Amino acid sequence: MAHWFHRNPLKATAPVSFNFYGVAGSPAANKICNDLRTTRVRLLEMFTDSTCTPEIMKNASDAYFSLLQGFLMSLDGTTQENKMRFIQNFKWTDTLQGNIPSAQQDAVFELVSMAFNVAIWYTKFASKLAGKENITEPEAKDVHKSLKVAAGIFKTLKEVHIPRLITPAEKGRDLEPRVMDAYIIQCQAEAQEVTIARAIELKHNASLIAALAYETANFYQKADHTLNTLEPECSSKWRKYLQLKQYFYMAYAFCYHGQTLLASDKCGEAIRSLQEAEKCYSRAEALCKEYRQTKGPGSTAKPSEQLFFLKLGALIKTTLEKCQRENGFIYFHKVPAEPPQLELKASYGLAEPVPFELPPLSEQCTPEVYATFDLTKGAKNDKAKPKDEEVKPVKEPDLKPQKDTGCVIS
């Protein structure tokens, strides 16, 4: 299902040479610097390689992070900061701030920025895979897992690594708590969308589908509220996407809750639930138009053009008509003025982030090699170059839409 998910752009970064000729006092130290440079370049290339898979991405990111930890972990047997942590300047843009970079001379900043991009890549991989025609069950599982992996990376960065930064993230930047929380919650919500589609396809109990849809709508609402204090010019488009998804899944919740009520012979309440589903669906349609017209970062999703979206509108209509017919012939129940209060809790199918762990420290980074880095020598490195090295935007491959079969698994 192409164009179902909104995606913000990848972060861009300035090249880093890791040329510490004066400081790196041994061939082994120089090799670490060279390998840092090449593994970083390789990882950055993978972000825009359309043939990259999660396995390739993990191998590329592990190769870089295992070496980078040699500048982060204490290797001299003390509790002091690694002496190499603050030697190199790193420059990164943010997903919501256009091509305006921020820079820190801190290897932790590089770790969290690069890992953030890895998480963004997983969301884009999931979106691309979900856009395939006739998606298979294993592919649907890959979409589901990729979104949970992304959520886990964002969550670990927020809780473990970002607090280590000496300079806190500025407001509206990727690494500040509101933005991190929005990404975590969105990934969980989108993973649950896969579960809902699967439950519908397998004709699971209507009460389970209603509960999952309700929980998912609440996730989207929570993500939207997380962003409500950000500057509108950088967050409005993203927020419109979160809002349209919230109302879409509230429509699902009221539709399937209506089916549950009808099965319990509560036809009047079922009609009122379906009427509320109609209202939520109409609001989702209106928000789709507002979303398309709102300017801001990221790719524009087109959910209202998808069969998965259109099928819900038809389902609400036919289910409501059925309830009204049944009520006119059999039940003669009064339709309540207020919609039913949805107090639904899903017992199954809730998406939990996959815990993110850094790879083990590279075998190259031994205490003996670490001792040969001598900061008193002064590095003939990037410090000698102008600090305003250009950060070029990332050229991302186009997500070409394929014929939409309406396959609900995606």
Distance, CA of 26 to CA of 368 (rounded, Å) = 10
Q: Is the pLDDT of residue 349 over 50?
A: yes
What's the length of the chain?
A: 410
Q: What percent of the chain has pLDDT over 70?
A: 90
Distance, CA of 333 to CA of 350 (rounded, Å) = 35
Distance, CA of 288 to CA of 241 (rounded, Å) = 8
Q: Is the pLDDT of residue 172 over 60?
A: yes
Cα dist. 137→142, 202, 203, 382, 408 in Å? 9, 12, 16, 49, 11
pLDDT in tens, 204-230: 999 999 999 999 999 999 999 999 999
Closest listed residue to residue 58, CA positions, set 158, 145, 188: 145
Q: Is the pLDDT of residue 406 over 70?
A: no
DSSP for 339-373 reads PPP-----SS----PPPP-PPPPPTT--HHHHHTB
Distance, CA of 359 to CA of 59 (rounded, Å) = 10
pLDDT in tens, 100-148: 899 999 999 999 999 999 999 999 999 999 888 788 899 999 999 999 9
pLDDT in tens, 350-373: 789 999 999 999 999 999 999 999
pLDDT in tens, 242-294: 999 999 999 999 999 999 998 888 888 898 899 999 999 999 999 999 999 99
Distance, CA of 181 to CA of 168 (rounded, Å) = 16
pLDDT in tens, 28-64: 999 999 999 999 999 999 999 999 999 999 999 999 9
Provide Rg for the chain, Cα atoms. 25
What pLDDT does residue 190 have? 96
Question: How many C-beta atoms surround the C-beta of residue 393 within 10 A?
Answer: 11
Exposure on the CB side of residue 181, measured as CA atoms within 13 A: 15
Distance, CA of 36 to CA of 209 (rounded, Å) = 48
What pLDDT does residue 351 have? 83
Alpha helices in 69-136 (DSSP H): 107-130
Closest listed residue to residue 284, CA positions, set 316, 256, 322: 316
Distance, CA of 203 to CA of 71 (rounded, Å) = 53
Distance, CA of 62 to CA of 114 (rounded, Å) = 11
Distance, CA of 241 to CA of 301 (rounded, Å) = 8
Q: Is the pLDDT of residue 387 over 60?
A: no
Between these two residues, 282 and 76, which has the higher pLDDT value? 282
Exposure on the CB side of residue 242, measured as CA atoms within 13 A: 25
Distance, CA of 190 to CA of 140 (rounded, Å) = 12
